[in-house]
């Protein structure tokens, strides 16, 4: 029940004005049953009949999401779409079927460029084939011919990179192919050829361990080279190509040191590949003054085996010497 106090007009006999007399009006109670209200989006603003204050319409609430029983899988939330290159794609979504294979040769795919690209990669495949041939020959007592195949691998390895740059067909595919071929020819074939040549000079287990070390260090060296910034002046560690050239030439010229010395020399060469010492590139070595080559030329006529071993030892020692020189120069600054 609602009680409202209202005023009532009463005319006085002695005056011409009017007066309000207070009274009480009792309104009937609201019925117990009410109609179900309309949804918020169908109802407008409500007006209070007493205060004349307009109340805003009730906001529309989203429907409640029913809870799933425990263990029931739920769908992931919707991924917002983004615009990339003018196309609407979902973030984190990649449709592998909407893209074709990555082109092996970047740039224009003209016939001339394709021929040049194929010629460069043929050199890389040639290095791989010669490496496998060296393994087969070393298994049938053909160490000298196998070593000659290793020298051919070194030649092809230098040729494919130079041709790719000169012909303008350098590509990431070619770089990966070159790295894989180097691992086969220089990381696997070279130590196999060395083992077949010198396994009778010392315990086979020691020789095998040194050759396995060459394979492991070659893999590390190649992987590090692929992810490291390139220096135009020095190598970081002895490159696998040069290590394989040393091993192949040593077998080819018949350099047979004693068992312990052979194991030590192979191990030192393997560790030099993964060292952080700077080693000069072949282009810098060729530019040395001519008089420096006079002593090796004379020594080659006297005993080419000893001269070759001395040059290799000098090159291996140049890395630590250059490192000490760079370190002392940095400390002086």
**Per-residue pLDDT at 108:** 82
The mean pLDDT of 72-85, rounded to a whole number, is 47
pLDDT bucket at 70, cuts 50 / 70 / 90: low
d(C-alpha 289, C-alpha 188), whole Å: 36
User: E-strand spans in 109-251?
Assistant: 234-236
Backbone torsions φ then ψ of 81, nearest 5 degrees: -85, 145
pLDDT in tens, 292-310: 889 999 999 999 999 999 9
Round to whole Å and give the CA distance between 133 and 130.
5
Residue 35 — pLDDT band, cuts 50, 70, 90? very low
Above 60 in pLDDT, residue 83?
Answer: no
Residue 17: predicted pLDDT? 45
Strongest mean pLDDT among 37-46, 71-80, 317-326: 317-326
13 pLDDT exceeds 60? no
* Assigned CATH class of 111-321: mainly alpha
Q: In this structure, what token pair is assigned to residue 77? A: 């939330």
Are residues 319 and 278 in contact, defined by beta-carbon separation less than 8 angstroms?
yes
Q: What are phi and psi of 87, to 5 degrees?
A: -110, 145
Domain boundaries, given as residue ranges, for the chain: 111-321
Which pair of tokens denotes residue 202?
């010392």
CB 200 within 8 A of CB 143: no
Closest to 254 (Cα-Cα) out of 289, 215, 306: 306
Indicate the pLDDT class of residue 218, thresholds 50, 70 and 90: very high
Structure confidence at residue 316 (pLDDT): 95
Region 181-191: mean pLDDT is 95
74 is written with which tokens? 């739920």
Angle at CA 106, nearest 5°, toward 109 and 224? 150
pLDDT of residue 258: 81
Confidence of residue 34 (pLDDT cuts 50, 70, 90): very low
CA distances from 100 to 104, 106, 165 (A): 12, 14, 27
Confidence of residue 4 (pLDDT cuts 50, 70, 90): very low
Whether pTM > 0.75 for this model: the answer is no
Of 22, 1, 2, which Cα lies nearest the Cα of 10?
22
Is pLDDT at 105 greater than 70 in this prediction?
yes
């Amino acid at each position: 029940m609602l009680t409202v106090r209202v005023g009532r007009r009463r005319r006085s006999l002695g005056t011409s004005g009017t007066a309000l007399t207070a009274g009480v009006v009792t309104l009937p109670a609201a019925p117990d049953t009410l109609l179900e209200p309309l949804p918020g989006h169908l109802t407008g603003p409500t007006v209070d009949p007493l205060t004349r204050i307009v109340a805003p319409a009730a906001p529309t609430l989203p429907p409640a999401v029913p809870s799933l029983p425990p263990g029931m899988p739920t769908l992931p939330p919707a991924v917002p779409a983004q615009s990339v290159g003018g196309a609407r794609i979902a973030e984190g979504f990649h449709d592998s079927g909407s893209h074709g294979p990555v082109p092996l040769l970047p740039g224009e795919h003209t016939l001339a460029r394709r021929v040049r690209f194929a010629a460069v990669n043929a050199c890389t495949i040639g290095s791989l084939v010669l490496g496998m041939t060296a393994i087969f020959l070393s298994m049938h007592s053909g160490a000298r011919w196998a070593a000659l195949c290793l020298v051919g691998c070194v030649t092809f390895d230098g040729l494919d990179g130079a041709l790719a740059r000169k012909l303008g067909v350098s590509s990431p595919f070619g770089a990966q192919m070159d790295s894989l071929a180097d691992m086969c020819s220089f990381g696997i074939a070279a130590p196999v050829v060395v083992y077949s040549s010198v396994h009778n000079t010392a315990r086979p287990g020691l020789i095998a361990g040194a050759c396995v070390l060459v394979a492991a260090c070659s893999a590390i060296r190649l992987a590090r080279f692929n992810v490291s910034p390139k220096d135009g002046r020095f190598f970081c560690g002895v490159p696998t190509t040069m290590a394989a050239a040393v091993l192949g030439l040593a077998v080819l010229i018949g350099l047979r040191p004693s068992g312990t010395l052979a194991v030590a020399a192979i191990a030192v060469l393997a560790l030099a590949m993964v060292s952080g010492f700077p080693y000069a590139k072949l282009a810098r070595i060729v530019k040395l003054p001519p008089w420096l080559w006079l002593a090796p030329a004379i020594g080659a006529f006297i005993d080419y085996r000893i001269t070759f071993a001395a040059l290799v030892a000098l090159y291996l020692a140049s890395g630590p010497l250059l490192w000490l020189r760079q370190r002392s120069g940095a400390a002086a600054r």
